Structure 1
Amino acid sequence: MEDQELSWRERGRLWMRLGIRLLLTLLVLAALALAGPALLSLFMPFVLAFVVAWLLNPLVRGIQRRLGISRKFLSLVLILLILAVAGGVLVAFIWNIAQEIISLYEDWSSISTALQEALSSLDHAFSRFMSLIPADIRTASDAYLESLFTWLQGAVTTALGSSAAYATRIAKQVPSFAVGTVVFLMGSYYLTADYPHIRYLVSKRFTGRSRHFLQEVRQAALSAFGGYVKAEFILSVGVFFILLAGFTIIGQPYTLLLAFLLAIMDFIPIIGAGTVMVPWAVVDLALGNLRESIELMVIWGLIALFRRVGEPKVVGDQTGLPPVVSLISIYVGMQLAGVLGMILGPVVCMVVLNICRLGIFNPVLEDIRLAAADLSAFLKHRPGGDTNSKNV
């Protein structure tokens, strides 16, 4: 269709709409950037309590319909039961990790001796390698290594100081964490017990059309976020059990601790368990521990195979996010918010795409197309343009 030029009144109204939408978008983004993290941190116990209430609501409603028990009593029993089960699992897990840490501390002298022997072997092998290199190159290499060791010494000192300061800050936040935990538990009970009433009070503030729109947005956001987090959690649990079984078979000490830490690393996009296991295997190979190196690489190969086979099925089918878009969202999230942005980047991208599929931005896109067509017609139909074309 040929571009048609708008009247000046229509053009003014069009660009005013676009300008107002752009201004409102910038104001919302600025408000989220400035006040969002502070408000989220302030109301975090209540946000988590609302999530718990939302998750427990179907279970509480089903049991209440079957047994006719009071919702408040049922909510209290379920929260106490979940707290007891979660606390028992957490205590057992912490107990096993604490035992492994104590064992690591008791065996530290033998580990230190083995580490020193390994470093001596590496130093001897490196010295023999350096003896084959010409003197000029060896002198330059020695100077570079000396500067590298000096930098590493300063970096380790700085890291230790930062760790001590961080541990001090964590210790000061223990009372606040305890109070927040109590508030979270109380909020979970109150919100779970009164969830239908609270939902009714909120929903009646909106009309039928806006209520339907918010339900669609909520469904899209929960589908994207829940699908991604659930898929990554399932994959990380699978990686944890692969590591646990592999370390147990090869007789690796501190099995539970290492499997847990590596599974957490595998949950983080881009990093993965291979960030630790591959250098670990290379060091074992350099020290002459060929068997240990092969065992680590076999375990890492099983993890990589599990990820390659399971990830397209578990993540791709649930979210439908193309690989290129996922990579872009991970990189942008990393640049904006570090490791947390790497995790939330694909989630936010999926939420935005699902919301766009609802047609929320259709009026904006129509205005942009109309503005582009008007601008094209305005530039094309210049005064004297037809005369010049006839002369040619």
Structure 2
Amino acid sequence: MKDKKIYFNIVLTVVVSYILIKLIDNYNYFFDVITLLLSLLTPFVIAFILAYILNPIVNLLEKKLKIKRIFSLFITYGFFVLLLGASILFTVPSIVSSLADIVNQLPVYATQTQEFLISFVESLKHVDPNTLKDVANKTMAAMPEFSNIFIGYIGNIFNTTFSIGKFIVQLGLAFIICFYILLEKESFITFSKKLVYILLGEKFGKFTLDVCSTLNSNIGKYFSGKILDSAIVGILSAIGLYFVGSKYALLFGTLVGFMNLIPYFGPVIGMAPVVIINLFYSPKIALFSLIYLILVQQLEVAIIEPKIVGGQLGLSPFLTILAVTIGGGFFGIPGMILSVPIMGVLKIYIVEFIDSKQINLNN
């Protein structure tokens, strides 16, 4: 009997090792399958995000104004589609035009930077100007080529990962899925709970539903508030940059608003292009733009964010920076945005676990 058990363990180890080796050898195939699955699930992800955004409006119409849910959904969808359409109509052409202009101006920026470096090198009396001039020339000579590479890279992104037709289809499916999620959300929640209990059992099912409830209450509120907060920051930034005479005010306002979703690092990332691009046109405007954006960020930190987002996650600056660093390292900008609310939920359960142990630190 013991020999059979040993033989079985050996066979099992060999089989598992063989499967792992095959997985490693054919990792590209499995990555392609995962990419395909994620692509198929994209409309559902967008639908749940839309449900988070639209659900408070539907609840307001249904519970406060006593409008039937189906009509509340139609009113909400109509308002949202009009708002989205107006935003696309009035902002997207200008943003695309600004992006194209920046790409076209890259060789000009490179030339101006090269001239600045040369003049700076020549001002250094104690250093051999010819040597540093050669270094600057060789470094900046690659900038025109960089602009061509950048243009080609942007084209590849749009051709391979951001197909307009594909995105429109996914967005349309997401709106349909979101509509039925909100229309039958009670039935959807009840069915999901039953399925979780069947698959995981009572103990793990209860824990899973508790985690989902915590995620819903924390992440949902955080994103709803943070999106509104960032939208206000973006609008204030665009208006202010326009009046100080900044180039590409609408594009930069949109960038600042989007980057504001990332705690701590986001505002700096959003401000940097504003200052750098404006330096090529007017150092004075670049300085005014920087001062104005800093004032907007101070206003956001002191008034806007506490009122809209609040402190429901309860994360210290250390944990927030840690979350953003880890999330950004693994998943880039989306990871930086998602990491903060996820860290907030993890903190809740870690604190509960530590408190349950009742450790006496005086011993």
1:176 paired to 2:166: yes
Q: d(CA) in 1 for partners of 2:49 and 2:122?
A: 65
2:149 aligned to which of 139, 152, 158: 158
> Once the two structures are superposed, what CA deviation does each residue of 1:218-242 show, in whole Å capped at 9, x if it has no partner?
2322233234324432432232232
Letter in 1 for 2:276: P
Find the counterpart in structure 1 of residue 345 from structure 2: 351
Q: Is the 8 A contact 2:226 2:261 kept in 1?
A: yes
2:302 aligned to which of 291, 303, 309: 309
User: With CA pairs under 8 Å and 6+ residues apart, which has the higher RCO, 1 or 2?
Assistant: 1
Query: How far off is 1:43 after superposition?
Result: 2.3
Distance 1:194 1:267, change over 3 A: closer
1:296 paired to 2:294: no
Q: How does 1:51-62 map to 2 (within 5 A)?
A: 52=50, 56=55, 59=58
Find the counterpart in structure 2 of residue 321 from structure 1: 315
1:277 aligned to which of 254, 274, 278: 274
Distance 1:37 1:232, change over 3 A: farther
Q: Is the 8 A contact 1:228 1:318 kept in 2?
A: yes
Q: d(CA) in 1 for partners of 2:113 and 2:61?
A: 66
Q: Is the 8 A contact 2:121 2:132 kept in 1?
A: no
Query: How far off is 1:105 after superposition?
Result: 10
Q: Is the 8 A contact 1:221 1:355 kept in 2?
A: no
Q: Is the 8 A contact 1:281 1:297 kept in 2?
A: no
Q: Is the 8 A contact 2:51 2:182 kept in 1?
A: yes
User: Please, what TM-score do these two structures have when normalized by structure 1?
Assistant: 0.64
Q: d(CA) in 2 for partners of 1:301 and 1:97?
A: 24
Q: Is the 8 A contact 2:110 2:140 kept in 1?
A: no
Q: Is the 8 A contact 1:225 1:347 kept in 2?
A: yes
Q: d(CA) in 2 for partners of 1:58 and 1:293?
A: 40
Distance 1:198 1:309, change over 3 A: closer
Q: d(CA) in 1 for partners of 2:156 and 2:141?
A: 23
User: Please, what TM-score do these two structures have when normalized by structure 2?
Assistant: 0.68
Bigger-Rg structure (1/2): 1
Query: How far off is 1:86 after superposition?
Result: 2.1
Find the counterpart in structure 2 of residue 338 from structure 1: 332
1:167 paired to 2:166: no
> Once the two structures are superposed, what CA deviation does each residue of 1:184-216 show, in whole Å capped at 9, x if it has no partner?
233233333333333333334538776654443
Q: d(CA) in 1 for partners of 2:306 and 2:143?
A: 43
Distance 1:268 1:275, change over 3 A: farther
Distance 1:280 1:303, change over 3 A: farther
2:39 aligned to which of 38, 41, 56: 41
> Once the two structures are superposed, what CA deviation does each residue of 1:346-390 show, in whole Å capped at 9, x if it has no partner?
22211212233454996xx89xx9xxxxxxxxxxxxxxxxxxxxx
Q: d(CA) in 1 for partners of 2:164 and 2:141?
A: 37
Return 5+ residue gaps in structure 2 as ranges.
1-29
Distance 1:248 1:153, change over 3 A: closer
Q: Percent identity?
A: 17
Q: Is the 8 A contact 1:277 1:300 kept in 2?
A: no
Find the counterpart in structure 2 of residue 193 from structure 1: 183
Q: d(CA) in 2 for partners of 1:135 and 1:360?
A: 62
Q: d(CA) in 2 for partners of 1:202 and 1:120?
A: 60
Q: d(CA) in 1 for partners of 2:192 and 2:230?
A: 37
Q: Is the 8 A contact 1:45 1:184 kept in 2?
A: yes
SS in 2 for 1:320: coil
Return 5+ residue gaps in structure 1 as ranges.
1-32, 370-392
Query: How far off is 1:36 after superposition?
Result: 7.3
Q: d(CA) in 2 for partners of 1:360 and 1:258?
A: 45
Distance 1:101 1:216, change over 3 A: closer
Q: Is the 8 A contact 2:246 2:278 kept in 1?
A: no
